Structure 1
Amino acid sequence: MRLKARLERDWRFFRDLNRTLKRVKTIAPTSANLVCDDIQAAVDQWRERPALTYEKRTVTFAEMDAIANRFAHWAKGIGVRRGQTVALFMPNRLEYFPIWYGLTKIGAVAALINNQLAGAPLAHCLNISGAAHAIVDDETSPAFEEAKGLLERPMQQWVLGHAHGDQRDLTQALKSCSQLPPDRSVREGMTAGDTALYIYTSGTTGLPKAARITHVRAQLYMRGFAGATGATEKDRVYITLPLYHATGGLCAMGAGLLNGGSVVLKKKFSASHFWDDVAAEGCTMFVYIGELCRYLVNQPEVEAEGRHKLRMVFGNGLRADVWAEMKRRFRIPEILEFYGATEGNVSMFNFDGKVGAIGRTPKWLKKKVNYRLVQFDVETEEEVRGMNGLCIEAGPGQIGECIGKIGHDARSEFTGYVDKAASDKKILRDVFEKGDAWFRTGDLMKTDAEGYFYFVDRIGDTFRWKGENVSTGEVAERLQAIPGVMEANVYGVTVEGADGRAGMAGLVVGPEFDIKAFGETVAHDLPPYAQPVFVRILPAIETTGTFKYRKIDLVADGFDPTAIKGAVYYRDPVKGGYVRLTKPGYAKILAGGVKL
């Protein structure tokens, strides 16, 4: 029976992998076929079918194409030429996807700016885009106005809404633009290796970096997920993630549109309205980020969650405990977890639904994939090298950094960032032989004997304490299971005179939270080195647009109770539990009077 189950699992893995590879095998950086040609092919085949639904308005493939063509002609008319950039700074809305689709029709590049940004981070993203024009709407225009003084060069602001001052009215300008496709000659000579988009990193540990997304990389995302999800013209994909990132803007769009299906787009995620929307719209799939699913399982039960038509959900970052609850409570037939970095060359799928795994590489496939795990020292934040100077591959159960060998084909190339210095930092050289080059994902993982991969932590998040490596992700997962803890963000802080970094947990708690009971559970459930030394109570945890926790500001705050609003506790080695940290207590810790 066990052998039969293993064979069925392997057959399913091979089937789904083959289906995915069939969609991407013809993609090449030297091809003249661009991502807009892929989308145009879908338009031509399914012109009258619904493509996009947003706030009760639905447009067909033909209507979506007409919107894109107007933007293409507008950009061409104001002098935007192939290779030049237009900044797109808006929340999710019906025009978002057609805008960048239209810009690629004339060979232009769209810089997809996080609409949550303001001030210096916004100006930074606009500056490195090199754009001379920016598209905004009524919601984002005020933030753009405030950041204008920080721009390194003039940038014309085009508003889909009410224009004032030196702003230009884009709605009015589009009225005189043709709905017919621009002549293909405007992009003659371009290849799929040319840039299509700039997609920015989340900026969880600093200012965002602009990843250069070529046409071939955009095609890999879109075609790959059209294949991996088994999408058909009957599918309807619910997207509540921001379109300025690859998961929602490329992966989910590809699954929704390239095989003739449709997309239901929401401006932003709402846990309270989620199931009503999914049920009412007849959605068959939705795309997730792990935290989104955790919000859903923490919501009270609603009637609509039992009458959906979902056949699959797909995304990344789903914790094992939330995964099991999603399957049980919401009766979701299939969960497709995947791993990939926007700018990287490593991607994997967990096709057979192993709970908690981010992907799988069976032994018979290992020589065909370009990624490996190498042993890593979290204290020095460097790969471990042998006597020959080369890296050492991590075996099953060992934690290592995931790296991807850089090649010249579509799936293994590394196009990097706009900033060359930032790109160079992501390349690891002389790994398994002199002269080779590998992309550093910055992610720590481990594998098991069956070839499943499990995410452990981001490098820089994992820290060393009492001679042991502490995974912030694993500790946070344990803490969030404790009664009264609604959210937990775990990180390491420097304590003068201490070896390594002490664990600190920023908690959002409910009224039933009890620090004494919390301490007792921590002592029971976690080994001593993994138990947070400090606990900080937060009103909320700051996140990026894709629900990733920001740690940089919390790390900078440290554990000084005079500099922090709200309660701070430390684990008192004498009393054996958490006690409130006072100014004298803080001074005593700094003086070495407390053995942490």
Structure 2
Amino acid sequence: MFLWTQNAVLIVPIALRTLLPYLWMDLLYFGDLLRILVSFSSRRRRRPPFFVLDRFLEQTAAHPHKIFVAFEGESHSYAYTDLRSNKTANALRSHPGYTPGDTVALFMGNEPAFMFTWLALAKLGSPVALLNHNIRTKSLLHCFDCCKAQVLIAAAGTDVLPSLKEQDVTVLLMAKHCDTAGIQSFSDEVDEASDASLPRHLRSHITSKSPAVYIYTSGTTGLPKAAVVNQNRLLTALAVLSANGVTSNDVIYLNLPLYHTAGFIIGFIGAIETGSTIVLKRKFSASQFWDDCRTYSVTVVQYIGEVMRYLCSTPKKDNDKEHKVRLAIGNGIRAEIWREFLNRFGNIQVREFYASTEGNVGFLNYAGKIGAIGRVHFFHQMLFPFTLIQYDTEREEPIRDAKGLCVESPTGETGLLVSKITDIAPFVGYAQNEEQTERKRLRDVLKKGDLYFNSGDLMRIDKDNFIYFQDRVGDTFRWKGENVATNEVSDILTLCDCLKEANVYGVQVPGHEGRIGMAAVTVKEGAQFDGSRIYNHLVNYLPSYARPRFIRIQNVVEVTATFKQMKVKLVEESFDPGRTQHPIYILDDKEKSYIPLTAQVYSSIISGNIKL
């Protein structure tokens, strides 16, 4: 009996590790989820209501002299940040154009004043619209109108449109002096203002459903949309961020835009939750990244989009692995880059996650499976019901059965991610844009009358319950009766020795169904475009329908501020050599190469004399 028991003790762990290799990680994650629920629930019950600002005040009381933000050689403690935000708030209260509670737009880049000002406005009970400080003219006016702001606070050196003054907007410039008529210099007023605490009654009107910030989408297609992030969502973010493995001992490198979700919520709000120190950078710099990490003893870094690939593209150095970074948090890293990043820069834990500013579902790859955005399980499904449904990429709509309901995608097959809209997982929508809000709502999904959030993202779940991002709806195109995922083709192209970046999209050809593949690429420094080599590479890796028929050479691949590739203009210009000065090549199976696309060949394609 003893021998059997002893053998069982040895066999059971081995059997579990074989049959359920992720069980222990799943259990630990369940524990994290339970802690998140308990933390969120206890904060929701607190009276007076507890919000992000209250967490910041708790951290300030706990360690007032600890550095909160380091920026360009200067360091500001939690206590200094608290007092400076008081000064900013008291200076703002004195302006006749502002009343506590009014919506205020921030038009600032990454600098400590951004953080001080946001905290000041939180103390005054004002929602804040986070404007991309790079936008101008029509987009700026559009973004400002979306949030119905009464005041614009802009950074020094900003050219603020006179049009805002014509709308009786109060414009305050964070500068010592301002020569622009009608625009007030604000920094001196902040310096001279009282640092007394703000009375709590100024924000007594705030509830969990009150808007906290307006965060704008990237605007890769059309004008940006203002996603409403209410106080409840920020409170949820606080609880979730505490499960990322970041502690008060960590130093976080924040080099992503503060006006965007990743920089603001993961970086700024995340540090408030954990009581960490932020090393703030004006913008991402691949060449300065690791030197900054060494200088400031950074332990946690953020990434988004192509950041990791930019880091891997820098010249190799002997000290690439000499740093204290232990954790990288973000989304959008490709599997090949993930492996290259770890091989080159050392044993850094990569916490890939999936979430969107306005969405009501998210995933976390807590198991560290390379290439996956997360892992799904029954507990997650119970709290945030979601499914993948079959999607017609040609008609750009979900596939429905005879009863008018959506059809779920089988395991291993790509489908559109939709998440049920519930009290726990609400969808607030976009400010002043009911049309776009309604477009994100999907009805009659699994049964008549249900309501889901349409993520616009195509996903795949494997047999081990790992979920993978495939593409954005609209990016995937259909050619020769087959769906082509642009991300997959981009990954294959950039494996070719002579190519640095690739932006893949589908273009229409007269007389042909669907859209044919095209790629805008950049060539590596010191290399030359080799049509034969690229042709042979693609033949080895891609089926014929997925190989880009046209390749356009660019000096740089255009991206948004958050490194999302811009495709709209490229699709419009298509493969017409007369609409661009960039060289365009066409795939030629006879030559087994990509050869220059001439005006004559283009005309033959358009006239139908050449079939593709």
TM-score bucket of the superposed structures, by smaller chain: over 0.9
Structure 1 counterpart of 2:520 = 506
Residue 439 of structure 1 aligns to a residue whose secondary structure is: strand
Structure 2 counterpart of 1:451 = 465
Alignment of 1:3 with 2:21, yes or no, is no
Q: CA deviation at 1:364?
A: 5.3
Sort the Cα spacing of 1:451 and 1:29 in 2 relative to 1 into closer, same or farther, 3 A: farther
Separation of aligned partners in 2, 1:224 and 1:593: 58
Sort the Cα spacing of 1:572 and 1:354 in 2 relative to 1 into closer, same or farther, 3 A: same
Structure 2 counterpart of 1:522 = 538
Structure 2 counterpart of 1:210 = 226
Structure 1 counterpart of 2:111 = 93
Aligned partner of 1:61: which letter? Y
Q: CA deviation at 1:37?
A: 1.8
Residue in structure 2 matching 1:197, options 213, 218, 225: 213
Separation of aligned partners in 2, 1:489 and 1:269: 21
Structure 1 counterpart of 2:369 = 354
Q: Is the 8 A contact 1:134 1:156 kept in 2?
A: yes
Residue 52 of structure 1 aligns to a residue whose secondary structure is: strand
Residue 287 of structure 2 aligns to a residue whose secondary structure is: coil
Separation of aligned partners in 1, 2:264 and 2:373: 20
Q: Deviations over 1:362-415 (max 9, x none)?
A: 245433322221111111111111111111222211111111211123x43434
Identity between Structure 1 and Structure 2 (%):
36
Q: Is the 8 A contact 2:143 2:226 kept in 1?
A: yes
Residue 272 of structure 1 aligns to a residue whose secondary structure is: helix
Q: Is the 8 A contact 2:358 2:429 kept in 1?
A: yes
Q: How does 1:128-143 map to 2 (within 5 A)?
A: 128-139=146-157, 141-142=158-159
Q: How does 1:181-580 map to 2 (within 5 A)?
A: 181-225=197-241, 227-363=242-378, 365-409=380-424, 411-510=425-524, 511-512=526-527, 513-580=529-596
Q: Deviations over 1:440-464 (max 9, x none)?
A: 1111101011211100000000010
Q: CA deviation at 1:127?
A: 2.5
Aligned partner of 1:514: which letter? D
* Rg comparison, structure with higher value: 2
Q: Is the 8 A contact 2:252 2:278 kept in 1?
A: yes
Q: CA deviation at 1:22?
A: 4.2
Structure 1 counterpart of 2:53 = 36
Separation of aligned partners in 2, 1:326 and 1:228: 24
Residue 116 of structure 1 aligns to a residue whose secondary structure is: coil
Q: Deviations over 1:426-484 (max 9, x none)?
A: 10011112221111111110101121110000000001001000101111011111111
Sort the Cα spacing of 1:457 and 1:390 in 2 relative to 1 into closer, same or farther, 3 A: same
Q: Which runs of 5+ in 2 are unaligned?
A: 1-13
Deviates more, 1:342-351 or 1:122-131: 122-131
Q: CA deviation at 1:255?
A: 3.0
Sort the Cα spacing of 1:519 and 1:361 in 2 relative to 1 into closer, same or farther, 3 A: same
Q: CA deviation at 1:303?
A: 4.4
Aligned partner of 2:253: which letter? Y
Separation of aligned partners in 2, 1:517 and 1:23: 56
Deviates more, 1:486-495 or 1:39-48: 39-48
TM-score, scaled relative to structure 1? 0.95
Q: Is the 8 A contact 2:165 2:171 kept in 1?
A: no
Q: Which runs of 5+ in 1 are unaligned?
A: none
Sort the Cα spacing of 1:107 and 1:365 in 2 relative to 1 into closer, same or farther, 3 A: closer
Separation of aligned partners in 2, 1:304 and 1:77: 53
Say which structure, 1 or 2, has more relative contact order (CA 8 Å, 6+ apart). Answer: 1
TM-score, scaled relative to structure 2? 0.92
Separation of aligned partners in 1, 2:458 and 2:217: 18
What is the count of residue pairs matched by the alignment? 590
Separation of aligned partners in 1, 2:387 and 2:42: 25
Separation of aligned partners in 1, 2:164 and 2:415: 41
Deviates more, 1:11-20 or 1:48-57: 11-20
Structure 2 counterpart of 1:109 = 127
Q: Is the 8 A contact 1:222 1:252 kept in 2?
A: no
Separation of aligned partners in 2, 1:2 and 1:248: 43
Separation of aligned partners in 1, 2:573 and 2:333: 29
Q: Deviations over 1:33-60 (max 9, x none)?
A: 2322222222222212111111111111
Separation of aligned partners in 2, 1:464 and 1:198: 35
Deviates more, 1:95-104 or 1:263-272: 95-104
Residue 562 of structure 1 aligns to a residue whose secondary structure is: helix
Separation of aligned partners in 2, 1:210 and 1:61: 30
Structure 1 counterpart of 2:195 = 179
Sort the Cα spacing of 1:20 and 1:315 in 2 relative to 1 into closer, same or farther, 3 A: farther
Residue 105 of structure 2 aligns to a residue whose secondary structure is: strand
Sort the Cα spacing of 1:204 and 1:59 in 2 relative to 1 into closer, same or farther, 3 A: same
Sort the Cα spacing of 1:423 and 1:316 in 2 relative to 1 into closer, same or farther, 3 A: same
Structure 1 counterpart of 2:605 = 589
Residue 414 of structure 1 aligns to a residue whose secondary structure is: coil
Sort the Cα spacing of 1:94 and 1:502 in 2 relative to 1 into closer, same or farther, 3 A: same
Q: CA deviation at 1:116?
A: 1.8
Sort the Cα spacing of 1:28 and 1:559 in 2 relative to 1 into closer, same or farther, 3 A: farther
Structure 1 counterpart of 2:62 = 45
Q: Is the 8 A contact 2:331 2:354 kept in 1?
A: yes
Q: Is the 8 A contact 1:427 1:440 kept in 2?
A: yes
Residue 8 of structure 1 aligns to a residue whose secondary structure is: helix
Q: Is the 8 A contact 2:587 2:595 kept in 1?
A: yes
Separation of aligned partners in 1, 2:394 and 2:88: 50
Deviates more, 1:566-575 or 1:556-565: 566-575
Residue 570 of structure 1 aligns to a residue whose secondary structure is: strand
Q: CA deviation at 1:29?
A: 10
Deviates more, 1:297-306 or 1:372-381: 297-306
Q: Is the 8 A contact 2:384 2:420 kept in 1?
A: no
Q: Is the 8 A contact 1:371 1:403 kept in 2?
A: yes
